[in-house]
Amino acid sequence: MPYANEMVDRQVGRNAELFAEAIADIDTPRERYPYLRILVSLVDQAHPEWRQAPNKDEQIVSLVDELSKGTLDTEEVTEVVQVREQELKQGML
């Protein structure tokens, strides 16, 4: 299936981009939360080089914003990234 635009990030892939756009169509933050967790995890796995970066959170939020074409609330995504990072630091994931 041909697409009119190029992928935002080849490491994450087209499916993650389409997933990000679909998440934006979900009505409430509570309903979006689990899907945002999955998307953030996909981005984190696609970019292991960011794991030690001091601005990793900002990089992930920026990429998710690009993937969704600006349709996701960056504050909401930032919150998801921060919660996930806290869990990683505590060894919960």
Which has more confidence, 12 or 93?
A: 12
What confidence tens digit (pLDDT) does each residue in 39-71 have? Answer: 999 999 999 999 888 999 999 999 999 999 999
CB atoms < 10 A from the CB of 23, how many? 22
DSSP state of 7: -
Q: Confidence class of residue 4 from pLDDT cuts 50, 70 and 90?
A: low
Give the pLDDT score at 40: 97
Residue 78 has pLDDT above 90, yes or no: yes
Output the average pLDDT for the chain: 92
CB atoms < 10 A from the CB of 16, how many? 21
Residue with tokens 């990089």: 59
**8 Å CB contact between 43 and 60:** yes
